[in-house]
Amino acid sequence: MRRVIVNRVLLGAAGVVLLGVGVLVLAGGLDLYRRLGVHPPESWPLTSPDQPVVSARTRGRWVSSTWWWPTVIGGLAVLLVGMVWWLVAQLRRTGLSSIAVPTPGVSGLRLRVGARALEEALETGTAVLPEVERAGVRLVRAPGHPRLRGAVRLTPGGDPAALVEHFEDGPRADACRSLGLPELPADLRIRVLQAAPAEPRHRRTRRRRQSRVE
């Protein structure tokens, strides 16, 4: 399952629960129903500011039933296990240690290439592209197929579109060809550095900033 979807659904669920309880208590406590002239349905909870948060009637409603405590314990246990799973999913490393390489025509041979070797080859291949100041590449887990994730810093005036083309036709194509991989999608995060501003302008900027503060 995709982590981003799970995270967002569960975060949304937690948010809805907190928001719902908070708004319900606020509406009752500030007596909004009476002030706004709204008549909530009969079974609506927490309508009067004079009632306790958890009334004795609410507390005693199910406690005497035989199913209550097993249900509470079971529900809490399920919640606990689910939260452990969710937490572990966040802490799991996204990086891969190796990638499977197809071996066509050879049966019984399974070949894996270390991720670090691939990453280093791609890094050096990217770093020598024009206008690249620094480059970092990681091989990461992704649904379906491993992906490449690169962070590239361009020199001032660098051309991001040209970098994408150079990367696609250069290091990535080389890696796919030499490993015989059918696909190895990549995501690049590109930053562009700024040329050092001319000295007099810089001073002027400073002064303007100061005068604005005063």
Partner 1 sequence: MSDLRTEAVEGSADGVADGAGSGRLRRLRAPRTVAAALVATAVLVVAGALLYDVIAVRAGQPARRWRAQIVDELATRHLDDLWVLVGAGAAALLGGWLLWLAIAPGLRRWLVLRPYGGTSAAVDRAGIGHLLADRAAALAGIDHLRIRVGRRGVRVSLAGPADPASVQRQLREELDRVGLARPLRLDVRTAGGRRAGGDAGKGPESDGAAAEGPAADAGAGPGVVG
The residue from 69, 100, 103, 114 that contacts partner 1 (CB under 8 A) is 69
CA distances from 109 to 100, 103, 112, 116, 165 (A): 11, 7, 10, 22, 35
Q: Verify binding: residue 136, partner 1, rule CB under 8 A.
A: yes
Residues 137-156 binding partner 1 (CB under 8 A) are 137-138, 140-144, 147, 149-154, 156
Name residue, tokens 């290439």: 113
Amino acid present at 116? R
Site string (80-109) toward partner 1, x via CB under 8 A: x--xx-xx--xx--xx--------------
Q: Verify binding: residue 36, partner 1, rule CB under 8 A.
A: no
DSSP category for residue 47:
-
Q: Verify binding: residue 135, partner 1, rule CB under 8 A.
A: yes
DSSP characters over 161-212: HHHHHHHIIIIIHHHHHHHT-S---EEEEEEE--PPPPHHHHHHHHHHHHHH
Q: Verify binding: residue 190, partner 1, rule CB under 8 A.
A: yes
The residue from 198, 211, 213, 214 that contacts partner 1 (CB under 8 A) is 198
Check if the beta carbon of residue 181 is closer than 8 Å to that of residue 131. Answer: no
The residue from 46, 99, 118, 129 that contacts partner 1 (CB under 8 A) is 46
Nearer to partner 1, 125 or 150 (CB): 150
- Minimal distance in Å, beta carbon 179 to partner 1? 14
What is the dihedral sign for C-alpha 154, 175, 92, 74? positive
Q: Verify binding: residue 197, partner 1, rule CB under 8 A.
A: yes
Q: What is the size of the binding site for partner 1 (CB under 8 A)?
A: 104
Convert 81-150 into a string of H (helix), E (strand) and C (coil).
Answer: HHHHHHHHHHHCCCECCEEEECCCCCCCCCEEEEHHHHHHHHHHHHHCCCCEEEEEEEEECCCCCCEEEE
The residue from 61, 103, 128, 165 that contacts partner 1 (CB under 8 A) is 165
What is the dihedral sign for C-alpha 5, 6, 11, 14? positive
Q: Verify binding: residue 31, partner 1, rule CB under 8 A.
A: yes
Alpha carbons 77 and 82: distance in angstroms, whole number: 9
Q: Verify binding: residue 40, partner 1, rule CB under 8 A.
A: no
The stretch near partner 1 (CB under 8 A) out of 35-43, 104-112, 181-189 is: 181-189
Residues 1-20 binding partner 1 (CB under 8 A) are 2-4, 7-12, 14-20
Q: Verify binding: residue 214, partner 1, rule CB under 8 A.
A: no
